[in-house]
Structure 1
Amino acid sequence: MKLMSRRTVLFCFLGLLFAAPGVLALFFFRHPDMIAGAPTNQGFLLRPPVSVPALLEMPANWHLLLWNEGACETACKAALDRLARVRLALGRRARRVDVSLVTSAPASLADAMLVKTLKDADIRVLGLDDKAFAGLPQNVSAFFIADPEGYLVLSYAKDAPPGALYHDLKHLLETNPDG
């Protein structure tokens, strides 16, 4: 009798051990609000995404954009350098990312040294009017990530660390192998 009860206890324990993950999964599936979901992105998610038609004329890649109003001064050049380094840090995934400087005054980029720097770092210049960014909060963001369909999906502050851009872009590239 003692042997039978020991086997019964062992069988019940093993059954409970293997059934518990399934029961917990079903419980959390039915009650997703019980899971504290921290956001994985470090940028600000734009809802709804903002369409930029000029990006559709470019190759269907992910885009790192720097929004700069007026002439590209020292802070702008440093930001472009950070974006170029983020793209370079992506390694083999870098061919799927384009870096662009979006400005409302492309004629103000007449500095020969700046043009050479942009060409060496393979940074495109997009001249857009302010209406293209009308759906965005004004003076809040400087960096954007745009998807291959030409929608801005994430925005970042001017002082955002390059690691935040890198982390989010790498995550997007890994989860979207075709785009």
Structure 2
Amino acid sequence: MNTMSSGIHPSHSQRRRGRLQLLLIVAVVLGPMLLASAMYRFGFWVPESRSYDGVLIATGEGRDALGITAPVTSEPRWELLVTAPHGCAEACQDLVYLARQINIGLAREAGRAGHALAVGAALEDAYEQRLTREYPQLKRYTLDPAVYDANAALPRGAQLWIVDPLGNLVLRYDEHAKGKAILDDLKHLLKISQIG
């Protein structure tokens, strides 16, 4: 008779073990969520490393935020965009050359990207002729310097931007950026991209 009643009514130690198992299950399910929320909220144990070299533009802004009017293309591609709001001086010209070299460096993936130049002032005649002769695939956009200058967050001087196929700004580099680092970033973006 005692054996039957112990099966129907669990003993104190069996109840304690059951509660402990329930608490462990709840801790396993809720613990990681609570820890992740606390890490996000208070910023502890967050890795400082990153897998890109440029400045990440995570605002969802497009070329129009830079004052650029770009035509809609039927073939969306990634783009290495050089901007120079006040004329294309030596730093800008170096970035235009670098953008072309990076595009060539993509090898078999080169068709998924292009290079472009957006300036806010007329180019010198000699450089204009050189671009026409040596950079036949370079897209050209106009840039409104007033719109560019109105955005205080934008850096001054020539910049190189990686633009996604939808026209969104992704990464930004200044005139001191290394071509290998930009190429690696663009290759990584092309590898994980589902568009373009």
Same-fold status (TM-score > 0.5): yes
Q: Confirm or deny that 1:82 pairs with 2:98.
A: yes
Q: CA deviation at 1:76?
A: 2.6
Partners of 1:134 and 1:153 in 2: CA distance: 20
The 5 A counterparts of 1:25-174 are 31-32=35-36, 33=39, 34=45, 36=47, 38-53=49-64, 54-55=69-70, 57-58=72-73, 59-105=75-121, 107-111=122-126, 112-119=129-136, 122-130=137-145, 131=147, 134-135=150-151, 136-139=153-156, 142-174=159-191
Alpha-carbon deviations, 1:123-151, whole Å to 9, x = none?
11111213157544231761111111111
Q: CA deviation at 1:28?
A: 6.4
Name the SS for the 1:145 alignment partner: strand
What letter corresponds to residue 169 of structure 1 in structure 2? L
Q: CA deviation at 1:178?
A: 2.9
Distance 1:29-1:61 versus aligned 2 partners, 3 A rule: farther
Gap regions ≥5 residues in structure 2 = 1-29, 40-44
Name the SS for the 2:52 alignment partner: coil
Q: Tell me the TM-score normalised to structure 1 length.
A: 0.72
**Percent identity over paired residues:** 25
Partners of 1:178 and 1:140 in 2: CA distance: 30
Partners of 2:47 and 2:171 in 1: CA distance: 22
What letter corresponds to residue 97 of structure 2 in structure 1? D
Instruction: Between 137-146 and 78-87, report the one with greater CA deviation.
Output: 137-146
Partners of 1:94 and 1:29 in 2: CA distance: 42
Name the SS for the 2:91 alignment partner: helix
Q: CA deviation at 1:39?
A: 1.3
Q: CA deviation at 1:78?
A: 2.2
Q: Highest Rg: 1 or 2?
A: 2
Gap regions ≥5 residues in structure 1 = 1-25
The residue number in structure 1 matching 2:18 is none
Q: CA deviation at 1:175?
A: 0.1
Instruction: Between 50-59 and 143-152, report the one with greater CA deviation.
Output: 50-59
Partners of 2:131 and 2:158 in 1: CA distance: 22
